[in-house]
């Protein structure tokens, strides 16, 4: 007759406090390598590395400042205000007549100048654009007077390289060149 398997056998195997930790042993001495460590080389000169460390501080500050500026500019260029003003410029018939088709940012990585603070109600930005016929600077300024009020656009124009100013507000006309 065959023996019956016990249902308690797997439980007994798991419950035993058997510890099988391997202890690291130094290959030459056979002792603990962490306690019996000896310095077998000279310590570095502290004075020589200090000047090198002081030279890395300006490099670090320039890198952090550049990264912050790039992050803040990316946040501005991803804003709905910038996207909306660029779209409105693309579909504006007089802007298309001045700049041509395919109106876009002038550079691959656009720089958005000015303040874009929707929380406090201040938007005053400008950026460079280009088309197939020419290029220019688009300026947009809008403020919100009260906390829950609507934004009022104060300025919105396109200034081309040759000095022409095209006012993009509804019902406005082209302003003659300033001298």
- The enclosing H or E element of 76 equals helix 46-77
Is pLDDT above 80 for 13?
no
Tell me, what's the pLDDT at 28? Answer: 72
Backbone torsions φ then ψ of 122, nearest 5 degrees? -125, 115
**What is Dmax (Cα atoms) for the chain?**
114
pLDDT band at 148 (very low <50, low <70, confident <90, very high): confident
CA nearest neighbour of 139 among 152, 158, 120, 117: 158
Considering Cα of 10, then 12, then 13, then 17, what sign does the dihedral take?
positive
Angstrom distance (rounded) from CA 155 to CA 167: 8
pTM for the whole structure: 0.65
pLDDT band at 41 (very low <50, low <70, confident <90, very high): confident
Average pLDDT of the segment spanning 56-61: 92
Chain mean position to CA 10: 55
Angstrom distance (rounded) from CA 95 to CA 82: 16
pLDDT band at 179 (very low <50, low <70, confident <90, very high): very low
Is pLDDT above 70 for 177?
no
Contact 84, 92 (CB under 8 A): no
8-state DSSP, 28: T
Beta strands, E only, 58-173: 104-105, 113-117, 122-130, 135-144, 151-160, 165-167
Tell me, what's the pLDDT at 61? Answer: 95
Is pLDDT above 60 for 151?
yes
Degrees, nearest 5: CA angle 155-80-97: 55
Tell me, what's the pLDDT at 68? Answer: 96
């Amino acid at each position: 007759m065959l023996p019956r398997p016990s249902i308690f056998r797997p439980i007994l195997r798991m419950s035993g406090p058997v510890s099988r930790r391997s202890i690291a042993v130094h290959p030459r001495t056979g002792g603990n390598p962490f306690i019996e460590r000896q310095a077998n080389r000279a310590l570095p000169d502290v004075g020589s590395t200090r000047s090198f460390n002081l030279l890395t501080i300006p490099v670090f500050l320039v890198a952090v400042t550049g990264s912050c500026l790039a992050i803040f500019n990316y946040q501005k260029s991803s804003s709905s205000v910038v996207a909306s003003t660029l779209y409105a410029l693309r579909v504006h018939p007089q802007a298309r007549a001045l700049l041509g088709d395919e109106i876009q940012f002038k550079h691959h990585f656009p720089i958005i100048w000015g303040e874009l603070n929707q929380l406090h109600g201040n938007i005053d930005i400008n950026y460079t654009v280009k088309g197939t016929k020419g290029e220019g600077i688009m300026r947009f300024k809008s403020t919100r007077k009260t906390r829950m009020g609507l934004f009022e656009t104060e300025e919105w124009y396109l200034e081309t390289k040759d000095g022409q100013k095209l006012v993009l507000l509804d019902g406005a006309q082209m302003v003659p060149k300033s001298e």
